[in-house]
């Protein structure tokens, strides 16, 4: 199988796998990291070593890293935890985000609206860009904003955003507001720096950087008040109850270290593959590539195949031995078109025609060429089954 769906999850790096297995097999690491005896403290040392590795990779301090079960929990803790704590302190607690965000962010924001927190969305353009002027307008129209949440990279389009410039807008117009950045799709693809970017909250996930599933982190200012989602023990300094999975966190720490040290080489490799795919798609009729052509993470191509249902097209490519996505993995299986593509102004039929192809370090030019070779037959088969369709690009 040619795997071209790395935005959904990445294969486990062999070096990380070995580290996880070694931690699982080590009889000296079987204790609870919260225990005071030597076995527990050895496990604690592994957790703290990983915490330092994640912090270094993100330009943060170790005490600013709270381990979670993944990016979804980190996003949830950032929005729900921060907004609820702000309200409890009598401060503005509205949320400002964009229609392009990951479902983990938007679902948390909608939950807050049911609790009485105002919610506003910043305008985006047809390429999925978020401009500073649009953010300024949204902040002026929503003075009750207490949390701004914008991603460093979009999970569907592959757009990259100038987060530092957007943070400066927030500091200028809403200095009381917290800035949360969902960096799940940016980690390992773009340079990230928590302090240099002047962030308050930052979410990342292990399985997007060739680490094990089941681990993530929320980076936050040390003294920032967060209302915890999970209640129980005092693990993670009271921000996230539950016994830490030592082996999984050890793997996450190594994956973070590798993501930072190998960032440039990885980016060069996957960007060349994405450029090769775009060049090939440009020679095909009735294909539209979505997203920002200038600022992007490098590994992602979102393309609409006019007259095709992308779910059927992905299934046909799967039969040809090629794995791609027709949207975010957390949304696949739903008949609804991608909210991200609808936010660009695409008609529902056009949004349903889009595939997301995302490359990783294990992919080669042969994978790109195999996809380009398989697409014409798969497209013809799907169009023939559907009899064409309305694929107008912009909603009337």
Scan for tokens 């909210």, then name that residue. 339
Residues across the chain: 396
Please check whether residue 153 is in contact with residue 190, taking contact to mean a CB–CB distance below 8 angstroms: yes
Per-residue H/E/C for the chain: CEECECCCCCCCCHHHHHHHHHHHHCHHHCCCCCCCCHHHHHHHHHHHHHHHHHHHHHCCCHHHEEEECCHHHHHHHHHHHHHHHHHHCCCCCEEEECCCCCHHHHHHHHHHHHCCCCEEECCCCCCCCCCHHHHHHHHHHCCCEEEEECCCECCCCCEECCHHHHHHHHHHHCCCCEEEEECCCCECCECCCCCCCCCCEEEEECCCCCCCCCCEEEEECCCCCCCCCCCCCCHHHHCCCCCCCHHHHHHHHHHHHHHHHCHHHHHHHHHHHHHHHHHHHHCCCCEEEECCCCCECCCEEEEEECCCCHHHHHHHHHHCCEECECCCCCCCCCCCCCHHHHHCCCCHHHHCCEEEEECCCCCCHHHHHHHHHHHHHHHHHHHHHHCCCCCCCCCC
253 phi, psi to nearest 5 deg: -60, -45
Catalytic residue among 134, 330, 342, 372: 330
Residue 253's CB is within 10 A of a number of other CB atoms, namely 29
Whether 308 is catalytic: no
> Where in the sequence numbering do the catalytic residues fall?
330
């Amino acid at each position: 199988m040619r795997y071209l769906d790395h935005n959904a999850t990445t294969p486990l790096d062999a070096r990380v796998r070995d580290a996880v297995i070694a931690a699982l097999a080590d009889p000296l690491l079987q204790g609870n990291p919260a225990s005071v005896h030597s076995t527990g403290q050895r496990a604690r040392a592994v957790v703290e070593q990983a915490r330092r590795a994640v912090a270094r990779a993100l330009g943060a301090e170790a005490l600013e890293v709270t381990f979670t079960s993944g990016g979804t929990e980190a996003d949830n803790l950032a929005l729900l935890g921060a907004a609820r704590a702000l309200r409890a302190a009598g401060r503005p607690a509205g949320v400002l985000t964009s229609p392009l965000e990951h479902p983990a962010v938007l679902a948390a924001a909608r939950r807050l609206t049911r609790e009485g927190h105002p919610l506003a969305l910043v305008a985006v353009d047809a390429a999925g860009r978020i401009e500073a002027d649009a953010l300024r307008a949204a902040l002026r129209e929503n003075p009750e904003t207490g949390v701004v949440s914008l991603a460093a990279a979009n999970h569907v389009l592959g757009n990259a955003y100038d987060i530092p410039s957007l943070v400066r807008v927030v500091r200028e117009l809403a200095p009381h507001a917290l800035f949360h950045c969902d960096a799940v799709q940016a980690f390992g693809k773009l340079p990230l720096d928590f302090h240099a970017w002047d962030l308050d909250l930052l979410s990342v996930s292990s399985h997007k950087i060739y680490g094990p599933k089941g681990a993530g982190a929320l980076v936050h200012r040390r003294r920032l008040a967060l209302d915890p989602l999970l209640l129980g023990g005092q693990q993670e300094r009271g921000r996230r109850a539950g016994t830490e999975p030592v082996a999984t966190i050890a793997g996450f720490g190594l994956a973070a270290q590798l993501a930072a040290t190998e960032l440039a080489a990885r980016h060069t490799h996957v960007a060349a593959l994405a450029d090769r795919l775009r060049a090939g798609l440009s020679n095909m009729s009735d294909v539209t590539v979505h997203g920002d052509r200038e600022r992007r993470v490098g590994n992602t191509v979102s393309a609409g195949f006019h007259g095709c249902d992308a779910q059927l097209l992905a299934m046909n490519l799967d039969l040809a031995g090629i794995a791609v996505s027709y949207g975010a993995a957390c949304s696949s299986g739903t008949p609804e078109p991608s909210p991200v593509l609808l936010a660009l102004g695409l008609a529902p039929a056009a949004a349903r025609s889009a595939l997301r192809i995302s490359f990783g370090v294990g992919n080669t030019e042969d994978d790109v060429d195999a996809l380009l070779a398989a697409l014409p037959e798969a497209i013809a088969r799907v169009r023939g089954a559907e009899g064409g369709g309305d694929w107008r690009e912009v909603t009337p």
